[in-house]
Amino acid sequence: MRIVFLGAPGSGKGTQAEKLMTKYDVPHISTGDLLRAAVADGTELGKKAKTAMDAGELVSDDIVIGMIRERLKDDDAQKGFILDGFPRSHAQAAALDEMLAQEARPLEKAVHLAVDNDEIMSRLMARKRADDNEETIRHRLKVYEDQTHPVINYYAAQAKLATVTGIGNMDEIFGRIEQAIGV
């Protein structure tokens, strides 16, 4: 299984990626989690990333692409991966394609979890993570619209896009995803 999850912050990507990992034993790789771990460890990378994260901006493409390049070399990722929160820009999507092409293991599907803005806003307001205050949330949604939403078209053009409605019961959504990726 080699898939990416696309969708606004709060669309349920992380939750559904965890469920896929548990059922199919393929690693769930979240750039948000990797970055938060780097911030908590106080690494150089973490220090560089923190300002952008706190402001709801994207961390630079170089940093996240490098992180993913390294993570995909790990043993557990040889059997596949579920990427969550990456790619978030056209440059990241193109870099991912290039690294996978070098290994002759192309991406299979990009699953877009579609959730409308009002629902996203109320979910994020209820989540209360450090970067989840109202102003930052609005900014993160704008960044998503401007920079990440175009990635959906990138995968549509490759005929790899599967759009799944991300509203409803968690298990129902999971069933839709399984159907969309053909497992």
Is residue 67 involved in binding ligand AMP (CB under 6 A)? Answer: no
Stretch of residues binding ligand AMP (CB under 6 A), selected from 21-29, 80-88, 101-109, 162-170: 80-88
Place of tokens 């092409």: 101
Using the rule CB under 6 A, which residue among 86, 109, 155, 177 binds ligand AMP? 86
Q: HSE on the CB side for 12, CA within 13 Å?
A: 24
Using the rule CB under 6 A, which residue among 3, 11, 20, 31 binds ligand AMP? 31
User: Which residues fall within 8 angstroms of residue 111, CB to CB, at 6 or more apart?
Assistant: 3, 4, 5, 6, 162, 164, 177, 180, 181
Query: Rounded to the nearest whole angstrom, what is the least distance from the CB of residue 141 to ligand AMP in the complex?
Result: 10
- Asked if 168 contacts 115 with a C-beta cutoff of 8 angstroms, the reply is no
Using the rule CB under 6 A, which residue among 20, 59, 124, 177 binds ligand AMP? 59
Is residue 6 involved in binding ligand AMP (CB under 6 A)? Answer: no
CA-closest candidate to residue 89, choices 68, 114, 115, 118: 68
Query: Rounded to the nearest whole angstrom, what is the least distance from the CB of residue 163 to ligand AMP in the complex?
Result: 19
Using the rule CB under 6 A, which residue among 19, 109, 123, 140 binds ligand AMP? 140
User: Which residues fall within 8 angstroms of residue 75, CB to CB, at 6 or more apart?
Assistant: none
Is residue 3 involved in binding ligand AMP (CB under 6 A)? Answer: no
Query: Rounded to the nearest whole angstrom, what is the least distance from the CB of residue 182 to ligand AMP in the complex?
Result: 25
* Three-class SS state of 5: strand
User: Which residues fall within 8 angstroms of residue 89, CB to CB, at 6 or more apart?
Assistant: 58, 61, 147, 148, 151
Is residue 94 involved in binding ligand AMP (CB under 6 A)? Answer: no
Query: Rounded to the nearest whole angstrom, what is the least distance from the CB of residue 3 to ligand AMP in the complex?
Result: 15
Two tokens, residue 167: 């509203």
Is residue 107 involved in binding ligand AMP (CB under 6 A)? Answer: no
| Residues at the site binding ligand AMP, with contacts judged by CB under 6 A | 9, 31-32, 35, 52-53, 56-59, 64, 85-86, 88, 92, 140
